Amino acid sequence: MKETVSYLKRKGLQVEGLFRRSASIQTIKDVQKLYNQGKSVNFDDYHDIHVPAVILKTFLRELPQPLLTFECYDHILGITSVESSLRVTRCKQIIQGLPEHNYIVLKYLICFLHMVSQESIYNRMTASSLACVFGLNLIWPSKGTASLSALVPLNLFTELLIDFYTNIFNSRTVPGEILP
């Protein structure tokens, strides 16, 4: 994840439609194979900025459990019933309960997505757009798939994490954590 985010930060922040376009399925499988073998990947060899973007989304989607954990699912669905002015505080409470490893990876990822959203004048990827792309890659129910009605709270929660990254993640630091 660090290698992929680092590459996207260097070369993709101002690419229009970053995370919205697909890449060759075979290329994605080839890159995944390299990573699974513990090898480094030179994304310049692929001449397509969307390859690392798809790799990042695929990595999150293929985790055995969601980064935001099954235990958070119902809490996240409840975000729409929280008064607007208290939603950021509620997001903060929910992620404070994450296991340390999940929290570190989430903070790293959301920090990067916040950077992407800050370049939305170029890349057209606002926090809302990024939330639509990443929401279901961060959290899903333990059984079945998320219902259509679940998309609104899941995406809202993700959008709040991105928009209010600094406020939400400022109170918990973990020794040795690295940010993009």
The count of domains in the chain is: 1
Rounded Cα gap, residues 1 and 154, in angstroms:
22
Indicate the DSSP class of residue 21: S
Task: Say what percent of the chain tops pLDDT 70.
Answer: 100
Give 148's contacts (C-beta < 8 A, 6+ positions apart).
none
Q: Is residue 42 part of a domain?
A: yes
Q: Is residue 180 part of a domain?
A: no
Count of C-beta atoms within a 10 Å radius of residue 27: 16
Rounded Cα gap, residues 58 and 88, in angstroms:
27
Q: Is residue 33 part of a domain?
A: yes
pLDDT tens column, 63-97: 999 999 999 999 999 999 999 999 999 999 999 99
pLDDT for 174 beyond 90: no
Q: Is residue 175 part of a domain?
A: no
Q: Is residue 37 part of a domain?
A: yes
Q: Is residue 138 part of a domain?
A: yes
- 3-state DSSP call for residue 6? helix
pLDDT tens column, 17-61: 999 999 999 999 999 999 999 999 999 999 999 999 999 999 999
Instruction: With cut-offs at 50, 70 and 90, classify the pLDDT of residue 144.
Output: confident
pLDDT for 118 beyond 90: yes
- The phi-psi region of residue 24 (left if phi > 0; otherwise alpha if psi is between -120 and 50; otherwise beta) is beta
Alpha helices in 65-147 (DSSP H): 73-77, 87-96, 100-118, 120-123, 127-138
Helix then strand count (H, E) for the chain reads: 10, 0
Q: Is residue 8 part of a domain?
A: yes
- Cβ–Cβ under 8 Å, residues 156 and 131: yes
| The pair of three-digit structure tokens given for residue 24, joined into one six-digit string | 């060759």
Helices 148-163/87-96 angle, 10° precision = 90
**Cα separation values, 70 from 63, 133, 141, Å:** 12, 19, 6
Q: Would you state the pLDDT for residue 5?
A: 97
Q: Look up the pTM and report it.
A: 0.95
Q: Is residue 44 part of a domain?
A: yes
For 79, the domain range is 1-170
CATH of residue 64 = 1.10.555.10
